[in-house]
Every structure is written in C-alpha cells, then in structure tokens.
C-alpha cells in the first residue's frame, strides 16, 4: 500500500530565511507527487506537482520541490520565507501508470515569524 510521511508536525522559520518542509513516500512503481497548502477556513490549494521529467519542479508563490527517487523524498522548499506563507502544507502521492488513489500525509504546520 502506498503511504506518505511528513515527519515534522510543525516547522518554524524566520521571515527572509529559507524554508524546507519534508515529505517521504512509499509507492510501487513511478509516483505522481503533489504539494497542497491549506490556509485557515480555506480549502486545499494546489502548489506544485512532479509527474515526470526534471527533478526540480517550480510552483506557485515561489515554492519549489525536488524529487529524489533514491531517497523517496519530495521536499518542499522556498529560498526566502514570508509571514504570509504560514499555513498547513500537505504532501500527496498517487501511483503513476496504474490506479490513481491519492494518499495524503498528515500535514506540516509552517509558522513564519516576523
């Protein structure tokens, strides 16, 4: 069965510093990987995805993520954090080329301090 792990419940970073939100996955075959963000009282919003191709993918609001097949990781990064980036971030995986049943991680709360 496929699974996603987000090992940190909370990440704290100062505004202007780089941020990383970690995600590791387990799936048979090639993965489709996604990052979503959830602001308070809002639905989940798509940030970026990896399907195939370049291991470094760029998404909305200056976020990027690097697919690492050997480490089965898909960490979310941003060079310079903003206070407005404070939100709940979810990593999700689905199996490429087969059944498309999305599995989400439990989420990581990102807090950016002024």
Partner 1 sequence: EAGVAQSPRYKIIEKRQSVAFWCNPISGHATLYWYQQILGQGPKLLIQFQNNGVVDDSQLPKDRFSAERLKGVDSTLKIQPAKLEDSAVYLCASSLGRQIEAFFGQGTRLTVV
List residues near partner 1 by CB under 8 A: 4, 32, 34, 36, 41-46, 49, 51, 90, 92, 94, 96, 99-107
Q: Which residue has the tokens 């990064």?
A: 77
Provide, rounded to whole angstroms, the least separation between the CB of residue 4 and partner 1.
8
Helix-strand-coil split of the chain, %, nearest 5: 5, 55, 40
Q: Count of residues for the chain?
A: 114
Question: What is the nearest approach in angstroms of partner 1 to the Cβ of residue 51?
Answer: 7
Residue found under tokens 């387990």: 26
Instruction: Residue 97: count other Cβ atoms within 10 Å of its Cβ.
Output: 9
- Choice between 57 and 112, CB closer to partner 1: 57
Please tell me what DSSP assigns to residue 71.
Answer: T
Name the minimum Å distance from CB 106 to partner 1.
5
CA distances from 2 to 14, 56, 65, 81 (A): 34, 22, 20, 31
Taking the complex as a whole, the smallest distance from the CB of residue 15 to partner 1 amounts, in Å, to 26
Output 46 or 61, the one with its CB closest to partner 1: 46
**Whose Cβ is closer to partner 1: residue 97's or residue 114's?**
97
């Amino acid at each position: 069965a496929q699974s996603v792990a987000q090992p940190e419940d909370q990440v704290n970073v100062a505004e202007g510093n780089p941020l990383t939100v970690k995600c590791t996955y387990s799936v048979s075959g090639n993965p489709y990987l996604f990052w979503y963000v959830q602001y308070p009282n809002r639905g989940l919003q798509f940030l970026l995805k990896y399907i195939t191709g370049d291991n470094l993918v760029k998404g909305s609001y200056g976020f990027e993520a690097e697919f690492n097949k050997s480490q089965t990781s898909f960490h979310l990064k941003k060079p310079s954090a903003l206070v407005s980036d404070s939100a709940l971030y979810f990593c999700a995986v689905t199996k490429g080329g087969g059944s498309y049943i999305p599995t989400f991680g439990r989420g990581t709360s990102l807090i950016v301090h002024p």
